[in-house]
């Protein structure tokens, strides 16, 4: 896995906002933050893009910032290479994403055991670092029925401060064609010690390709 994470760190040196917050911190500082009664990163005093990145990383998500569509394609291919995800079945329900699969000769029709889900999303929720989906991306599947690996392609304009903001956006955006099966995925690695908040959740190995569109 060293090659993939070296690639992430290389991008970290070249980007300002997102890269700065994606960079890893040392274990001691992480423990200090957990033990501190004061959390400086809240919705009230942190820009939502920074807040999402911090919380998404805290939840175990793998974040890759993309300035353009060329970078989306390149980093998608890097994920495939790192995991040896070639000549496999993929779950994908969105025609706008089929080209990524076609270009890499991945099968997404009549699949029975997909290796990963490729999808967009409805919103990225900043205050909890989660991703909100609907039937437009996952049909009627429940989170536990989705593949253990997920690759999401989203844009910076999809970041919302809270789940309530995201639901309001769905109501305004779809008007009469309101999607169903609205759900969020928050945990992107299995909790070392489950608490009542994570109990019963379906942890996913999730990559986010976040395209700048603002």
SS3 73: helix
Contacts of 182 (CB under 8 A, 6+ apart): 122, 132, 133, 134, 135, 167, 170
Q: What is the pLDDT of residues 10-57, one digit of tens each?
A: 344 444 444 434 443 344 444 444 443 445 556 667 899 999 999 999
Residue pair 188/59 in contact by the 8 Å Cβ criterion: yes
pLDDT tens digits, 120-160: 999 999 999 999 999 999 999 999 999 999 999 999 999 99
Give the residue-averaged pLDDT of 1-13.
43
Closest CA to 3 of 90, 80, 85, 58: 80
Confidence of residue 197 (pLDDT cuts 50, 70, 90): very low
Domains of the chain: 2-211 (3.40.50.10420)
Ranges assigned E (strand) in 31-105: 62-66, 90-91
Query: What's the pLDDT score for residue 171?
Result: 92
Global pTM value: 0.78
The pLDDT assigned to 6 comes to 43
pLDDT at 10: 38
């Amino acid at each position: 896995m060293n090659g993939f994470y070296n690639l992430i760190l290389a991008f970290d040196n070249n980007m300002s906002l997102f890269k700065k917050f994606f960079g890893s911190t040392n274990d001691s500082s992480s423990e200090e933050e957990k033990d501190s009664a004061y959390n400086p990163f809240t919705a009230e005093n942190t820009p939502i893009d920074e807040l999402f990145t911090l919380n998404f990383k805290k939840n175990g998500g793998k974040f890759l910032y993309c300035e353009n569509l060329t970078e989306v394609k390149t980093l998608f291919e890097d994920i495939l290479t790192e995991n040896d995800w070639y000549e496999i079945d993929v779950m994908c329900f969105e025609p706008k994403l089929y080209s990524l699969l076609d270009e890499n000769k991945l099968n997404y029709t009549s699949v029975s055991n997909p290796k990963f889900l490729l999808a967009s999303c409805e919103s990225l929720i900043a205050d909890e670092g989660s991703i909100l989906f609907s039937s437009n991306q996952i049909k009627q599947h429940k989170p536990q029925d989705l593949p253990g690996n997920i690759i999401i392609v989203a844009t910076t304009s999809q970041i919302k401060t809270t789940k309530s903001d995201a639901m309001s956006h769905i109501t305004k955006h779809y008007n009469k064609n309101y999607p169903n099966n609205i759900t969020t995925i928050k945990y992107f690695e299995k909790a070392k010690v489950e608490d009542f908040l994570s109990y019963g959740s379906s942890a996913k190995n999730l990559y986010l390709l976040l395209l700048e569109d603002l």
